[in-house]
Amino acid sequence: MLKRISFLGLFLAGFLALACTDFFTSEPLDTPVEVFTSDNDGPYIFYRKNKIYVKSVVNQDSLVTAKIDSFENRSKEDLVIECTFKQNPEWNFKTKLHAKNKVESSEYSKAEKILAVSDIEGNFQTLRNFLISHKVMDEQYTWTFGKGHLVCLGDFFDRGRYVTECLWLIYHLEDQAKAAGGYVHFILGNHEIMNMSNDFRYVHGKYVKNAELIQEPIANWYKASTELGRWLATKNIIEKVDDILFVHGGIDDKVNRMELGISDINNKCRPFYFISEDVFRLDDADLQFLYDANGPFWFRSYVTMTTPESVVDATLKKFAVKHIMVGHTIVDKVKGFYSKKVIAIDTRHTASNSQAFLMENKVFYRIDQFGKREEL
């Protein structure tokens, strides 16, 4: 089914979508969402009964087109989907769906090198630049990082225009990385959890209009009945790669005192990714803390240096690591805290100081998106 809408109609659709919270969720938003000109978006894949629905938005000849296809009794791995970019067609790429989305392990070893980036927030151009300039992939989106590990440290959602495309790119690289002996890690941050559990305060305005175009409320886009929702549900909130602990926000001392290992924390949190508010209706103090303001998604006290170094040391000992890597709290450059026991990598990717982290031959570097590196 193809639906064509004029730009005037699109503007009115966006206005109405803002006025009606049904295109987000049944609850009103805390913060108004700006409306912008719609852009290519998707695809979004929904599973309903015996059908697969593939929905996307494209710009064609000054018209915004909502494309909605459905397939019956078709093996999902036979589907090839494409992400397209109106202004930058050289960014276009195709990918096949995974045969099965499996829950990730919590601990990994023998990474030859590591590139870690956090808080991309829908900035596809920056992500693409990092991955190409540091030879994680080539311009045809082929994995070239060998036995290296790519770590995406949360908050790829919200604010930016290309959240969906960033997710599909990471999804696309996963199987290629495994085949080469490498790995792609996608750690969930607070904005992933927010979107999975119906908190859309920071969603970009284009998604408001696109929800109406594809006839699908945003609240449905990342649920367990979708491909991206099922994929996200397999991801962890904390992982260990060799002697580095990766977590979006950080580890409070209360987490140190819990009788929970890395996989225990992931398994405890996973059932509530889509219903995080339900955590606070349960009689489980540990679980509530993990989802609360000082839990692994939200913790900020490393960068503010308000965590005693003894607590950092306790975390290193508990999880048998030498370093903790975090995003979430913005720094002016990738830098170490507590004598590099903590490494913070969240920089503003819309600014000139956009940076990420690279470990090669056991040496730590801050890197920019154009191929430059500087030892930490």
Residue 46 has pLDDT above 70, yes or no: yes
Which CATH number among 3.60.21.10, 1.10.3720.10, 3.60.20.10, 3.30.1330.10 corresponds to the domain 107-375?
Answer: 3.60.21.10
User: Looking at 3-7, 21-25, 69-73, 335-339, which range is the least confident one?
Assistant: 3-7
CA distance 39 to 217: 17
Q: Are 324 and 247 in contact (CB under 8 A)?
A: yes
Task: Tell me what pLDDT residue 97 has.
Answer: 94
pLDDT digits (tens, 9 = 90+) for 175-225: 999 999 999 999 999 999 999 999 999 999 999 999 999 999 999 999 999
For the chain, give every domain's residue range.
2-96, 107-375
Higher pLDDT, 93 or 350: 93
- Tell me what percent of the residues of the chain surpass a pLDDT of 90: 82
**Pairing assessment for the beta strands 244-247 and 323-326 based on DSSP bridges:** parallel
For residue range 163-179, list pLDDT tens digits in order.
999 999 999 999 999 99
In this prediction, residue 242 has a pLDDT band, given cuts at 50, 70 and 90, of very high
Instruction: Return d(Cα 285, Cα 320) in angstroms, integer.
Output: 25
Q: In what order do the strands lie in the sheet containing 107-108? A: 107-108, 238-241, 244-247, 323-326, 342-344, 335-337
